[in-house]
């Protein structure tokens, strides 16, 4: 019985650490969208994003809110939903490696594309705990 209790406690600690890491990542990314809004808006505009600066600010806000939600475990379903619904269109618009011809740029876009979808996967795993 003690072994099972220790195992459950260890699993809870791992979950909290993982949740904090993911939450801090998204909070940092969201804040980065605010501090570097002009730079990111220029990049988004070059990718054909309409109202690029507004899109950068909105995506930054959803990332920051989602990150705070995970860090503080406040309305986690809403925070996870915001992050997932932000990452999917953002990833397909901003990291569309299949349209890039320069090999180095294509490789960088593919790395960011796969990283973002891995993040979506991790968010879905966390969300599955509530379903």
CA angle 39, 44, 49 (to 5 degrees): 150
Q: Which residue has the tokens 């619904």?
A: 85
DSSP at 5: H
> What is the pLDDT, as a whole number, of residue 2?
78
- Nearest by Cα to 59 from 41, 77, 39, 78: 41
CA angle 21, 24, 29 (to 5 degrees): 125
Q: How far apart are alpha carbons 121 and 86 in whole angstroms?
A: 13
Can you give the pLDDT of all 131 residues of the chain as single tens digits? 778 888 899 999 999 999 999 999 999 999 999 999 999 999 999 999 999 999 999 999 999 999 999 999 899 999 999 999 999 999 999 999 999 999 999 999 999 999 999 999 999 999 998 87
- Distances in whole angstroms, Cα of residue 46 to Cα of each of 18, 42, 109, 112: 34, 6, 14, 17
- Distances in whole angstroms, Cα of residue 127 to Cα of each of 16, 23, 77, 102: 14, 13, 7, 37
pTM: 0.91
> What is the pLDDT, as a whole number, of residue 123?
96
């Amino acid at each position: 019985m003690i072994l099972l209790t220790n195992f459950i406690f260890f699993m809870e600690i791992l979950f909290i650490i993982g949740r904090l890491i993911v939450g801090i990542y998204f909070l940092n990314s969201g804040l980065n969208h605010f501090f570097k809004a002009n730079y990111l808006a220029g990049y988004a505009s070059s990718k054909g994003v309409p109202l690029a600066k507004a899109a950068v600010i909105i995506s930054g806000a959803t990332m920051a809110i989602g990150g705070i939600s995970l860090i503080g475990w406040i309305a986690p379903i809403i925070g996870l939903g915001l992050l997932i619904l932000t990452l999917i269109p953002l990833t397909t618009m901003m990291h569309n490696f299949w349209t890039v011809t320069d090999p180095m740029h294509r490789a960088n876009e593919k790395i960011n594309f796969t990283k973002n979808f891995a993040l979506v996967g991790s968010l879905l795993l966390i969300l599955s705990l509530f379903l």
